[in-house]
Chain A
């Protein structure tokens, strides 16, 4: 039946990113003109780089035509080439090339790489354009230009990008994370796209993995937004108002504007959706109602604008010479900050994407240990010295020229034999490290997998999965042909018939649906007690990361997992064990890399992490011993305490940040990472707040313990609490060198705590002795508060 099928209509879709390391999205049509069903496959091969291939399994009913959109990664090895060519071949079940008439079913696509690919990729799904009305209408009909499109373009161009937008309006939102991985920002004003929850769920995963979505909410039903938000974030519509004259209020803006510069007057009504929200940060307000909100979701962000584009834009004056950087409009000066946040940065990186040693360490074979190598080299040196001494005593050193290499050959051969021995004794195996992160609702997981395979000989290795994902072999692994073969949506296998012998690595990223993976917690008099989903029975070495910059070790006492924040964390202290195993040492390195460091990164909060055995979501069809483990991150939900119960609210649950009730901000402390900058030289006089988690509800505080780990030689440090009755001095320290701690029971301070937050003022003076020209820096390790209280009314 080979003559009855036909491959045709092969085109590159505009969504492609044509440059080395990018992706070509190829649309092809395959038709089966026969009445009988047909099975075969369509392969996508770069003829000059055939070792990485993509394949699609096809099952066509009689007289069926299908449309296939396939992402094909463009090898990084193409860097510097002027063109690249992809070959598509339609093969039957016996792997023979099919023909249509007398012509083989093959097609080639030539690509010209983008010479200057845009720094960020913006895709959008806009609402249908307005209908085109006759030009003779009076008053004139609305212009055909789409306000949402103009708003998006103005924002992009103001952010320094090209006006190029990849339109998804005709296709719906992509369903595979591979397609999403090449998008930095998605702009949505299309209710149809948002009503398909399959696409919206894929978009949610995109945000959770560091992507950004900008919703133009002014013309959308607010309910459509909810599926994109975290479980603790909500937005509820009040009504839509039409504005003619308004003043925008900016929160945390980098630039201050006079009221006249924030005023917009318009004869045309500008609609704004009035909403109430929780869990987001309102960056722009009009009459107390949010005009722009930023929601942090997982590693990414959702930007929401409730004011229609007309309110944000004005006609652009001067234009760039580059037509791709021209726009009809520009954002109002007060809105340019929004453009910078939404459209000028690439998607956030997710952690642990670069190669890890964990799987190699876990395999442990067939590497001859460092000790053996040192011993062999030492032995070689000793023997060489001995031989040299012997020949010196005989007065003839010339045989050393032969003896030294001979000795080296003997030792090297011995080590090779030793390696072969170790290899023959070792079992063929696969070691995995998985970072499994549940989404905020606990209903999906994303897995970053680093794996190492040990084989005694070249053979076929096949990995199968039913998840939405992708595998990358290590760049060092260049033997055989790696083929990514997909039989249906989210059903694929990754195989290589000539997988190299010895050790090799690969990395995978994939997502899948899950049962509800949410940890619940109660605050008790002993701190926070956690309850995990039943499926995670082998949970170990747990860390609670509830607020930025203050993770806490979770200890196990029988069946109870709990944390009171007493054990200090960081450095080598991420795991508590009297005798640490090799596995725990490996885990410790991962924790340090994952949660440690001073980098300012967007990271999901309210999470509990722990270790479990690796999940088998990508099975090996080859018989290999499976080892490895998974670091699992779960969202945490705190259950409100019962009335009258005693509570210990540990520092790791209390958010510390710069006070919103003061002008400006300091670079000494980052709200985003929750960390202090090291080696500060300037004096500081700033206000900060400790915020209790809202789930504790109303409380009656009994005490608050403040801990300040500060080293400030030659400086005076003063600390005050800010209460309704004014500043209450708490401590004065001269040249502090040791951590300071104090338990406070002042009623004014406790009253403030009962409101849910305590504001403090921290003053670090200039150097007391100015006779030294050397600047002595000061450092703060942490500033924590721990509260004891009694729960009030629910």
Chain B
């Protein structure tokens, strides 16, 4: 992710995308700031019962093991075998972390200063030390120990480059041209790029002017030279070199020049044209990212091409430019471009466009609603799916009828997201009546067929049940009660039905209904025990209904926090006891 475009892409994703972060788990909060789900790599449309009530349930994270205990004494005085095993364990500790990491780090230092360590041991210890270091000085200190050890020092050099430490700068300056090993030379070039001074350009330029230099070395040198510009190197000094490279027939000349001039705030028009009109995708993206920052008018001239760029990252850059640019009078143009991107073939681009529209909606709701409406009524299913989610996220009640229409879409993704959007956005009585009728029809059809609906249609009906519960549509009670049976539907749909029943019968103290929920909660039959989510929601609904018998029933249940049913039981008992006190 060293590429600026890629970095921008990541930054954009992190800042603006609540659903599609490329990270393992992250809390998502609803409009009230409540945590309602954890992110996966894909967009998720959570069920209402996952976050209402907010009782800090972690649906997908396994319990993190405690930090690894490392015997420091074995590192200091153990045999090489023990030491190597310990170093491997440190490596494998991953996100667990190390207990007393500072002490372990000191032990590694101590062992590294012993005479007679084998190189294998040195490599293992230094690799472990680099992994657990927690401050820049740790790495600087390591460098002093390994500087004279050719293979071992490479690990530390990598870490020094990441921390932009200057302790090895003189070493890199010596090695950038004299090193006989290309791998060492590459590290030296990267080191200078990370923390060198403008005068270091003298060391790097010959690597680019010499045509026999290996292409990866040239590429690294170009990147490093480009990185010296923010530290004071005049970009103008690099332009003649850029022209020379473009004039020759060097492989990847455009990419070399794009990296070289990535911080040039006054790129020449013909250079820009050559880079943007060429066929080198990464070179185009680096150049466009630079223009976005420094020469937006040039970026705007090339925007149309970039919105059709073959690389998703290129299209995403263009969207970012559209989003960040004020566009003044042409807000409509801006939202229109973002709306078109809702139908992009790439999911990340689609999700980012949606996030941008959501952000604009806060200040310019009418424009965004108009664009969302166009997307909902257009023929592109990918765009419709994103627009449904956007409508739900932004609470666009005025689009309820369009969302309702899409409940019968041919695309299962659109059908499900339309139901999710309706659940979040709609409180209109007429629409809710129609929804109830639609849900009745779907429910009867499903139950009559005797087979469970597909996952997408299951989700759709679940979101619809939640809508009915959330809006207290009393006539849906009979339908919802059909879902107590384990055979009736998949657990998530039954959970939504029970959640909706809990909302419908809130404070009703309906002992019969509460009794049915108790049965669900306590159903631990050997062959077919009740599903965890149904038990969870049953406990929640018992609390909402507030029947007299529920407290003792909950009290007798065996589940305890942090397991979801245990958390629901605890929450329900608190609700019931506070209700009694009142």
Contact = CB atoms under 8 A, between A and B. Distances in A.
A196 B216 contact: no
Contacts of B65: none
B215 A276 contact: yes
Contacts of A242: 311-313, 346, 348
B554 interface: no
Nearest to B344: A244
Nearest to B217: A234
A489 B118 contact: yes
A488 B416 CA distance: 62
A441 B252 contact: no
A242 B344 CA distance: 13
Nearest to A518: B180
Nearest to A694: B212
Interface in B318-370: 345-348
Contacts of A287: 281
Contact of A197 (B79, B155, B285): B155
Given A136-B491, A138-B455, A195 B84 contact: no
Nearest to A278: B214
Contact of B91 (A195, A488, A637, A794): A195
Contacts of A66: 81-82
A490 B122 CA distance: 14
Interface string A191-215: 0100111110110000000000000
Given A138-B44, A196-B124, A441-B183, A234 B216 contact: yes
Given A241-B281, A640-B212, A236 B84 contact: no
Contacts of B281: 241, 274, 287
Interface string A219-255: 0000100110101111111111110100000000000
A287 B84 CA distance: 44
Interface string A274-293: 10111100000001100000
Which size class do B's interface residues fall under? 35 or more
Interface in A12-55: none
Interface stretch (B55-63, B426-434, B501-509): B55-63
B80 A269 contact: no
A496 interface: no
A134 B37 CA distance: 11
B453 to A, nearest CB: 12
Interface stretch (A79-87, A139-147, A669-677): A139-147
Given A131-B60, A196-B91, A238-B255, A139 B81 contact: no
B557 to A, nearest CB: 21
Nearest to B91: A196
A128 B91 CA distance: 13
Contacts of B533: 134, 136
Contact of A234 (B120, B214, B459, B491): B214
Contacts of B151: 197, 201, 441, 443, 513
Given A172-B88, A441-B151, A443-B150, A490 B216 contact: no
Given A138-B416, A138-B455, A794-B206, A172 B91 contact: yes
A244 B60 contact: no
A661 interface: no
Interface string A689-724: 000001111100000000000000000000000000
Interface stretch (B2-10, B297-305, B467-475): B2-10
Contacts of A130: 24
Contact of B186 (A234, A441, A490): A234
Contact of A196 (B81, B87, B158, B313): B87
A468 B123 CA distance: 15
B124 to A, nearest CB: 4
Nearest to A490: B118
Interface in B46-99: 47, 59-62, 73, 78-82, 84-85, 87-88, 91-92, 94
A133 interface: yes
B42 A141 contact: yes
Contacts of B212: 640, 694-698
A622 to B, nearest CB: 25
Given A136-B491, A141-B40, A238-B3, A244 B345 contact: yes
A175 B84 contact: yes
B140 interface: no
B216 A239 contact: no
Best-buried of A236, A244, A277, A443 by chain B (most CB within 10 Å): A236
Contacts of B154: 197, 227
Nearest to A197: B123
A489 B3 contact: no
Given A201-B123, A276-B252, A518-B180, A139 B215 contact: no
B282 A637 contact: no
A192 B92 contact: yes
Interface in B11-56: 24-25, 40-45, 47
A269 B62 CA distance: 28
Interface in A177-200: 192, 195-199
Nearest to B181: A231
Contact of A67 (B85, B123, B459, B491): B85
Nearest to B416: A138
B133 to A, nearest CB: 13
B186 A226 contact: yes
B102 interface: no
Given A201-B151, A237-B2, A794-B210, A134 B59 contact: yes
B312 A269 contact: yes
A277 B91 contact: no
A192 B91 CA distance: 7
Contacts of B24: 130-131
B120 A138 contact: no
A698 B212 CA distance: 7
B234 interface: no
Give the most central of A132, A172, A640, A698: most B CB within 10 Å. Answer: A172
Contacts of A695: 212
Contact of B348 (A132, A139, A269): A269
A234 B81 contact: no
Contacts of A696: 212
B490 interface: yes
Contacts of A698: 211-212
Contacts of A466: 118
Contact of B219 (A170, A244, A276, A491): A276
Contact of A278 (B91, B126, B215): B215
A198 B348 contact: no
A793 B212 CA distance: 10
B312 A192 contact: no
Q: Which of A66, A137, A242, A267 has the most CB of B within 10 A?
A: A137
A765 interface: no
Nearest to A268: B347
A139 B84 contact: no
B236 interface: no
A59 interface: yes
B183 A234 contact: yes
A479 interface: no
30 contacts: A66-B81, A131-B25, A136-B47, A136-B490, A136-B491, A136-B492, A138-B455, A138-B456, A138-B458, A141-B40, A172-B91, A175-B84, A192-B94, A195-B127, A195-B131, A197-B123, A197-B127, A197-B154, A198-B121, A231-B182, A232-B182, A234-B186, A239-B282, A239-B285, A244-B346, A267-B345, A278-B216, A489-B80, A513-B119, A695-B212
Interface of A: 59, 61, 66-67, 128, 130-134, 136-142, 170-172, 175, 192, 195-199, 201-202, 223, 226-227, 229, 231-242, 244, 267, 269, 274, 276-279, 287-288, 441, 443, 466, 468, 488-491, 513, 516, 518, 520, 637, 640, 694-698, 793-794
Given A132-B62, A238-B282, 8 more contacts: A66-B82, A130-B24, A137-B44, A239-B6, A276-B219, A489-B118, A513-B151, A520-B180
Q: A-B pairs with the 10 shortest C-beta distances?
A: A136-B492, A198-B124, A138-B459, A236-B216, A239-B3, A234-B216, A198-B123, A278-B214, A513-B119, A697-B212
